[in-house]
Structure 1
Amino acid sequence: MIRRFGDAPESGRSYTLRTGAYAILPHGDGLLLTRQDAPGPEVQLPGGGVDPGESPVQALIREVYEETGWRITRARRLGAYRRFTYMPEYDLWAEKLCLIYMAAPVMRYGDPLEPGHTALWMDVAEAMTTLANSGDRDFVARFASHLPVFQKRR
């Protein structure tokens, strides 16, 4: 069974399944994240929807590059969660199946390609309280529980 985060599905509402791949990207003492300006400003794990004909890892590599300007390697799936939400950019009520990976950011090629996104580095402890999505916060907290350096700072 896949754990659900956020609001329960509304009775009688039809949801479209939307699979996405998202990454925890550690480097040094921080994580590479993205700040999305619209529909409202929020900090997110980089990633997004899997397009038809694309594998989740291919989508992850593409989305991280578009949202941060960074190339990644060694993507390893950590788990998944579901959430039910309205996606105003698509005018869509979605059941999002969020596949969470850990990967290594290896090279910055430039600014994010996707309008309204800004790459940012954030301390792991700050990310656990700043990420907009409770599912993302949960996966970062699980990641942090395995970091000896983070455990010493608590």
Structure 2
Amino acid sequence: MIRRYGEAVKSGMQYRRRPGVYAVLLRGDQVLLTHQAEPIPEFQLPGGGIDPGEAPIAALHREVYEETGWHISSPKLVGIYRRFTYMPEYDKWAEKVCAIYVARPTLCMGPPSEAGHTAIWTEAGSALALLTNQGDRAMAARVLRG
């Protein structure tokens, strides 16, 4: 069974399953997060949805690059969780199935290419406090606490 984080499932609501990949990116005692300005300003683990026909690791590389400007190496699966949420940018209710990886950022190619995202390096303890999503916070804590 995959653990659920976040708001309760709303009775009678049609949720679409949306698989996604996200990364805890470590460099020494620093963690790389992304700040998304809209639709609601929040700090997140870099990542996002897997496009139809796309392999999960390819999606992870693409999403991290789009949201941070960094290339990564050596991704290793940490865990998977679900959350049920409304996604205003897509105007849909989603069952997000979030696969979380730990990876090493290797090369910054520039600023994020995805509009509204800012890459933020922060200390590990601060990262946990900044992460808005309860599932992201739990998975990052798993990595940071060993």
Q: Give TM-score scaled by structure 2 length.
A: 0.98
Structure 1 unaligned blocks of 5 or more: 147-154
User: Counterpart in 2 of 1:152?
Assistant: none
Determine whether 1:104 maps to 2:81: no
Name the amino acid aligned to 1:112: P
Query: Considering only aligned residues, what root-mean-square deviation do their CA atoms show, in Å?
Result: 0.6
What SS does structure 2 have at the residue aligned with 1:43? strand
Displacement of 1:114 in angstroms is 0.2
User: Counterpart in 2 of 1:80?
Assistant: 80
| Superposition misfits of 4+ residues, deviation over 3 angstroms | none
Displacement of 1:108 in angstroms is 0.2
Displacement of 1:40 in angstroms is 1.6
Q: Over residues 8-33 of structure 1, what are the superposed CA-to-partner deviations in whole Å (9 max), with x where a residue is unaligned?
A: 11010010000000000000211011
Distance (Å, rounded) in 2 between the aligned partners of 1:63 and 1:141: 21
Q: Over residues 96-127 of structure 1, what are the superposed CA-to-partner deviations in whole Å (9 max), with x where a residue is unaligned?
A: 00000011100000110000000010111111
Q: Over residues 63-98 of structure 1, what are the superposed CA-to-partner deviations in whole Å (9 max), with x where a residue is unaligned?
A: 000000000011111110000000000001000000
More strand by share: 2
Q: Percent of aligned positions with the same letter in both sequences?
A: 57
Name the amino acid aligned to 1:60: L
What SS does structure 2 have at the residue aligned with 1:25? strand
User: Counterpart in 1 of 2:132?
Assistant: 132
Q: Give TM-score scaled by structure 1 length.
A: 0.93
User: Counterpart in 1 of 2:51?
Assistant: 51
Q: Over residues 43-66 of structure 1, what are the superposed CA-to-partner deviations in whole Å (9 max), with x where a residue is unaligned?
A: 000000000111111100000000
Q: How many residues align?
A: 146
User: Counterpart in 1 of 2:25?
Assistant: 25
CA contact (8 A) 2:78 2:143 kept: no
Structure number, greater radius of gyration: 1
Distance (Å, rounded) in 2 between the aligned partners of 1:29 and 1:81: 25
What SS does structure 1 have at the residue aligned with 2:10? coil
Alignment of 1:2-13 (within 5 A): 2-13=2-13
